[in-house]
Amino acid sequence: MRRVALIIVPYLWLLALFLVPFAIVLKISLSDIELSIPPYTPQLDLSEGWEGIKAFFAALDFENFVFLTEDDLYWKAYLSSLQIAIISTVLTLLVGYPMAYAMARAPNHWRPTLLMLVILPFWTSFLIRVYSWMGILSTEGYLNQLLLSLGLISEPLLILNTNVAVYIGIIYTYLPFMILPIYSALERMDDSLLEAAEDLGCSRLTAFWLVTLPLSKNGIIAGCFLVFIPVMGEFVIPSLLGGSQTLMIGKVLFEEFFNNRDWPVASAVAVILLLILIIPIVLFQRNQQKTREAEG
């Protein structure tokens, strides 16, 4: 009974906060748009009994998913979001790994302070932080003023409302999610392994490549997932920093829900996005399980 009670809690949490909402969104994605409240049909009416239930399921169809394959906007938005998410994840890793490595190699009395500095941006509203980058990256912003005063450029650079601004905003926003798991993996690493590698003739760079990097693999993978998954559905950053030229599926989803009021199509977009994100997670978990079984 103790084992069952221990297991049932996370399963109930998963049922209430994932499976039930997903079932609702899936049902809406199989519905048709309607000028009503809610703006879709059919509606399940239990007062009609079994006949009402059969009529409800008979009215569901996959027309919205077929529509997504026929309109270029949606698959282009998926591909663009995938491209931006992959590039942003790689760039965040390139920036975050050296910072996490420096934190893990810092003296023990400095580590809490450095950790607090990484977490400090979370104390400010996410929206305010993104808005601040609009003031920094605009043609009259602080970045262009600095570059002009240093004589590095002769005229202001056009950064805002481009993909470059989107990458800057994403890297800044999601950098802590990359640093923290990598730092956690590096901080637990036994320094005697590096000493043993150097005693066996390895240079510091070779020891890092053969010892440090493999041991931090789990932190790297966790950080990449923590960045890649939310960036795929990101809406605020591309809307404020990327402008109308940046095509991401999060913006399309928002417009379908709130501007077009087409809940069925928007739900179909969300279902496909969720499936795209679940597949690599499932494959990674299976690979981890096989690795553990092989090691055992």
For 107, list phi and psi in degrees, rounded to 5.
Answer: -55, 150
For residue 277, the domain's CATH number is: 1.10.3720.10
What are the tokens at 258? 């709130």
Q: Residue 221 is part of which domain span?
A: 62-295
Q: What does the pLDDT read at residue 93? A: 96
| Torsion sign, CA atoms 118, 122, 123, 126 | positive
The answer to the question of residue 23 being in a domain is no
Report in angstroms the alpha-carbon separations of 30 from 14, 59, 64, 92, 188.
Answer: 23, 9, 7, 37, 48
**Whether 228 contacts 187, CB under 8 Å:** no
The pLDDT of residue 171: 95
Residues 67, 68, 69, 73: is their CA dihedral positive or negative?
positive
pTM, to two decimals: 0.87
111 within some domain: yes
Report pLDDT for 244: 77
Residue 13, in any domain of the structure: no
Buried b (16+ CB within 10 A) or exposed e, 241-265: bbeeebbbbbbbbeebbeeeebbbb
Query: Is residue 33 in a domain?
Result: no
Q: What's the structural domain count of the chain?
A: 1
> Is 127:169 a contact under the CB 8 Å cutoff?
no
Distance CA 147, CA 137 (A): 11
What is the pLDDT tens value at each position of the chain, 296 positions in all? Answer: 778 777 888 888 888 888 898 899 999 999 998 888 888 888 877 777 788 788 888 888 899 999 999 888 899 999 999 999 999 999 999 999 999 999 999 998 999 999 999 999 888 888 899 999 998 999 888 999 999 998 888 888 888 889 999 999 999 999 999 999 999 999 988 888 888 888 788 888 888 888 889 889 889 998 999 999 999 989 899 989 987 778 899 989 988 988 888 999 999 999 999 888 888 778 777 767 776 777 66
- What is the predicted pLDDT for the residue at 296? 60
Residue 9 lies inside a defined structural domain of this protein: no
The residues near 90 (Cβ < 8 Å, ≥ 6 apart) are: none
Query: What confidence score (pLDDT) does residue 169 get?
Result: 94
- Integer angstrom CA distances of residue 62 from 55, 68, 264: 16, 10, 10
CA 184 to chain centre: 20
